[in-house]
Amino acid sequence: MPTAQHYPNGLFPHIQSGFERTPYFPEAGKQMVLGCRVKNPAVPLLLAYAFDGIQQPDMEGTHAWDNESWTYYTFTVQPPDMPCRIEYAFISHGESITEPFFAESVTVADVLVMQNADAPLRWHIHRHQSVSISLFGNLSDKVIFNNDNETPHEPIILLSDGQGNRLAWMSPIVRLWLDRHNHAYQAELRCTVQAESLYGFGEKFDRVNQAGLSPLCYVVEQFANQQEKTYLPIPFFFTDSGAGFLLHGTWKTRFTTEVVDGGFIDISILTECPENGTLFDAELRTGSPAELLGWYTERTGAPALPPRWAFGPWMSSNGWNTQREALEQIQRMDELDIPAIVMVLEAWSDEETFYIWNDARYTPKTDGSAFRYDDFTFPPDGKWPDPRGFTEVLHQHDVKLVLWQIPVLKESSVSSGAQLEADKRYAVKHQLCVARPNGTPYRIPEMWFGGSLIPDFTNPETIRWWFDKRRYLVEELGVAGFKTDGGEFLFDRDSLLHDGRTIAQAHNDYPNLYIGAYHGFLNETAGPGNGVTFSRAGYSGAQRFPIYWAGDQVSTFSDLRGQLAAGLSLGLSGVPFWAFDIGGFAGDLPTTELYLRATAFAAFAPVMQFHSEPRSGQYDRTERQHLNNDRSPWNMAAANGDERIIPVYRKFAKLRMRLLPYLWQEAQHCVKTSRPMMAHLVYDFYADRRVHAIEDEYMLGRDLLIAPIVTAGAQGRTVYLPDGEWVDFWTGEPVRGAMEHDVECGLDSIPVYTLNKAMGSGEI
C-alpha cells in the first residue's frame, strides 16, 4: 500500500474522498484543489508543480483532517489565465512520494452550431425514422464560429408532432471545455421539450417521473438509501408528449432538468467526451411508449429471455455458508409446503477464487489450467463435504442452483491461498487484467475489494482463462446460473482495457462486458436460454442479459418504495426482467407488516425472491455475530414470533406457481415486443393523463393491474383503474374503470385487477 495517495478523479461521484482533484478538468485562471493523504504519523508534505514545464515554487499543504489510518492535506493552485499543461507530484523531504500527475487546463467556450455546416463541428438531421445529432471534435484554430451576439440565434427544431407543434428543440449554442489544442473534454447541450413528465434514465430509486431532477448516468455502487444514485443508469428517456431521446456512447453524463411554466422542460446535457472524433452522438424520435422502447432496443439490443423456471419463487441468503445449512432450507421448504424453484448461494466458495468450493482440498495449478471436479477432495468435516451430492439433492427437488460471482482477483489483508496467488501471477504475467498506462495492473483503490485486480473482459484470452475455471460448475454439477454481483469498481480514468479504451470511457460499459461474458458462457455450456445471470449493475443494452435485481436495501418502507420506483423506471428504460429482496437485504429484520407487504408485491413482480446480508452485517455496520438474519419465511416467523408469516408467504408462493404459465407467456411477449414485464401504467394507457402522475401501480404482463401497498400502517389504499371493464382478481367481481377506488387490504392480500375475467377469483 503506498504511503501517499492521490486519485485525480476520486472514488465515487457522490463521495468526497479527500484525495481527488477538484475540478477534475481544471479551468484556466480558476482555482483547483488537490487532495492527498499520507499514512500516520503525518510527514512534511509539499506539492511540486509546473505550468507548461515552468517549475513553480513548492507549495505547503493545508492539514485538512485525520482518521485512524491517514492524514489528509489539500493544496489550492491557480493555473494561468491561458490553457496549459499542468504537471504535479507530492514530495516529502525533497523526494517524490507519488508518481507525477498531469492535467490540461481548459477554457469554457460557447460556440454556435450551424445546420449542415461543412465544418468540424456540425449537426446532422437524417429525416428517416429518427433525428440524429452528432457533434464532431478535432477542432482547429482555423475554424471560425459565428458567435455574433447581435445575430439572433434561432433554436434548432428537432421534433414536431406533424401539425407544426414543436416537441423538442435545442439551443444552437453549445458549450465546450477545450484545451490549448482545441481538444474537447466536455460538452454541454441545452434543449427544451414540450412535456410535463420524463420517464426512463435507467433504474431510478427516487422517482419514476424524473422531471425537475438531475439524473446522473454513471454506474455507482451505493449501499442502501440509493435515492438519486443507481447501479444501472441508461441515457434514454421519453416524454409524456411522445418525444424520445437516446444518447449513444458510454461517457459519464448528467441530465439537469427544470420544469418551466407552460408545459415545458428545459434540459441541460453535460457529457464527458473523447478529445477528438465524435463528441456527442444522440438520436430523437416521436412515438408512443411502446414504439419508443422498441426503437431503443433496436438501437441497443433485443432483450434476452430467461428460462421458464426463473419465474418461480427464489430463495437466498448470504448466511447459508455450509452444505448442512443449505440443505436445512430445502428440508424446511418441504416441511412447510412452501415451493421454491431457485436457490442462490453467495457464501459457497473459498471467498478468494470464487470458483472453488469452501474447504476443498487440491493441488494448486500454476500454469493457468483449469480444474475438473475430480481434482478436488472434500473433507467430511468441511463446509461442503459433497458438492455433487448436494446439487443432486437440489435436482431431485427441481431446484435450480445459482452461484454468486464477483469480477475481481482478490487482494486481502490476510494470507491468501496458493491458488489465488497463482492466478494473480498468471493474470499479471499474461496481461489479463485492466492495466494502468505504465503497464502495471490497475487495482481497486479502496472500499469493497480494495486492492484487488480487475479481469479485462475485452480480452478474449481473459474470457477463455476465466471461464475454463468455472466450466466444471456448469458441465459437471449442473449449476444453472450466476449471481453476477459488482462491476462498479473502475475509477482510475486513465487505466486501459485490452480494446484500447480508457476507464473514463469504459466505466459505464464494464458491467455489460462482465455480465455479457457470463451470459455467453452459460449459453455455451448450459445451452442457449437455459441459464441465467442475476445482476445489479449495467448500462445501455443491459436488457441483453437477464435478470437484474435492485441491489442493497435496508428493511424499511422507504427503501421498499424506492424499489418499486426502481422497477418501474427500469422497465421504462428497456429492461423487462427485474427483482428485489423481499423485506430488504440489510439492517434490522423487517417487521411482519413490511415483510408481508413486500411478499405480496414480489409475488406479482417479474421475479420473486428473498435474500439477506451476511450474518455479521453488511460491511460490519451492524453487530450480528450471533444472529440468524435470514429473510426466509420460517426464520422471519421465528424471529418475529409471528405465526401469520408462514401461511401468508405460502399462499403467495403457491399463487406464484399457479401464475407460472401466465408469466412465461408474458415473458415471451415482452422479449418479442420490448415491453416491460412490470409496466408503468403510462405504457398501456398513454392517452389517460391521470396515469402519468401515478408512481405506484403497474401492469404485470398485459392482463394484471397491480397496486402494491408500500406505506407503513396502511389498511388499504386508493387504486386508480383506467377506462375499461376490470375484474377484482380475488373475488371475480366487476369493477368500473376510469375512476378511483378505495380498497381495504389486509396483510394477506394485495389489490390486483384483471381485464380477463377468466383470471378472476384468484384462479389461473
How many Å apart are CA 628 and CA 637, to the nearest integer?
12
How many Å apart are CA 595 and CA 597, to the nearest integer?
6
**From 104, 488, 697, 728, active-site residue:** 488
Grid cell locating 611 = 435474500
Grid cell locating 587 = 439492517
**From 221, 552, 696, 697, active-site residue:** 552
Q: Which amino acid appears at position 383 of this protein? A: K
b/e burial code for range 614-631 (CB count within 10 A of at least 16 → b) = bbbbbeeebebeeeebbb
How many Å apart are CA 202 and CA 568, to the nearest integer?
9
For residue 573, the 8-state DSSP code is T
Grid cell locating 238 = 421519453
Query: Is it true that the peptide bond before 152 is cis, omega within 30 degrees of 0?
Result: no
- Bridge-based pairing of strands 532-535 and 481-484 is parallel
How many Å apart are CA 325 and CA 319, to the nearest integer?
9
Chain CA centroid to CA 440, Å: 28
Grid cell locating 193 = 421539450
How many Å apart are CA 543 and CA 262, to the nearest integer?
36
DSSP codes, 492-536:
-TT-B-TTS-BHHHHTTTHHHHHHHHHHHHHHHHT-TTT-EEEES
How many Å apart are CA 589 and CA 555, to the nearest integer?
6
Best CA proximity match to 259, nearest among 191, 173, 195: 195
Best CA proximity match to 370, nearest among 409, 426, 322, 431: 426
Q: Which helix (H) or strand (E) holds 334?
A: helix 323-335
Grid cell locating 171 = 439551443
Mark whether 488 is an active-site residue. Answer: yes
The phi and psi torsions of 110 (rounded to 5 degrees) equal -95, 125
574 Cβ contact list (under 8 Å, min separation 6) = 234, 236, 293, 296, 297, 300, 303, 543, 674
Mark whether 485 is an active-site residue. Answer: yes
Sign of CA dihedral 721, 726, 731, 733: positive
Mark whether 110 is an active-site residue. Answer: no
The number of CA neighbours under 13 Å toward the Cβ of 409 is 25
Q: Which amino acid appears at position 745 of this protein? A: C
How many Å apart are CA 437 and CA 440, to the nearest integer?
7
Grid cell locating 74 = 489539500
Question: 228 exposed, middle or buried (CB, 10 Å; 0-12, 13-18, 19+)?
Answer: middle
Is-contact 353 409, C-beta < 8 A? no
SS3 content of the chain, % helix, strand, coil (to 5): 20, 30, 50
Is-contact 463 517, C-beta < 8 A? yes
Grid cell locating 556 = 424499511
**From 104, 179, 272, 485, active-site residue:** 485
Beta-bridged to residue 95, according to DSSP, are 92
Catalytic residue numbers, as ranges: 485, 488, 552
